[in-house]
Amino acid sequence: MVVDDLRAGRADFVGDAPLVRADVGDRSAMDRAFGDYGPFDGVLHFAASLSVSESVAKPLDYYANNVAGSASLIGAALEHGARAFVLSSTAAVYGTPERLPITERSRIAPINPYGRSKSMVERILADVQSSHGLRYAALRYFNASGADPAGGIGECHDPEWHLIPLALEAAAGLRPKLKLFGSDYPTPDGTCIRDYIHVSDLAQAHVLAIESLLSGGPGGVYNLGTGRGHSNREVLSAVERVVGLPVPAEPAPRRPGDPAELVADATRFRNDFGWQPRFDLDAIVDTAWRWLSAWKGL
């Protein structure tokens, strides 16, 4: 059963699962959904606001949606007998890392409301597990990217926040220019470095995590990334290789709340689950391009 208020999601992406159109922070709606469709063994929680820059401009919205909404959903899951809870968390909980790559033992020091909101929900889950026994895993994504390799689902945010689809749209002439936020970071080419991980690799990790929790296996916090960072300019080069067209870009000021470099050490998840990311940057861009081409009829 899928719960989505469709403020950012699409009903046609749900597939054959029942769809309950509601805010996960609406406790009465969640009680009805759990009662009508349950009982459920576990919950996978993806519903959150996700833009760093927007969180800096609208912090109260992020704490209300990400923290209060999550607490309400966790309460409903507990009340209705769920035994496992998997949180879509983020590398933003680490803030500006002291060393790279980032391990789960790295200091938690978010530098924006988005990262702080996710860190708070992780703490709530740890406390609820200690007090009530609801087992949890918090999967700290690095840069989720790409699209369904079969072409059925891809990114279609409005507005779009993410670099790869923005660069693809610019190359295809769907937007005039890409804004390259920050060219003076302490990195080899002056642009931000991020660890891009394909959504299919993330999806597999979620299945492994909830199956583990339900069978009494490992849980807790995990990084999910490839262990390799790519600068914004390297991403633009990958887009140009895949599409065969230049990406028109113009420099823009740094966005508030953006650290220079985030790269994952996902050794713990790999060791616990035998998981291995399958998609490199060019393959990620290729799936995103095939999705955009189909969606826009290019």
The catalytic residue positions are 114
C-alpha distances (whole Å) from 241 to each of 16, 98, 143, 168, 286 are: 36, 33, 20, 11, 10
Q: Which residue has the tokens 């993330």?
A: 202
Phi/psi for 74 (5° steps) reads -60, -40
How long, in residues, is the chain?
Answer: 298
Q: Is residue 288 within 8 Å of 145, Cβ to Cβ?
A: yes
3-class DSSP state of 184: coil
Q: Is residue 298 within 8 Å of 172, Cβ to Cβ?
A: yes
Residue 93: alpha-carbon gap to chain centroid: 12
* Neighbouring-strand partners of residue 20: 3
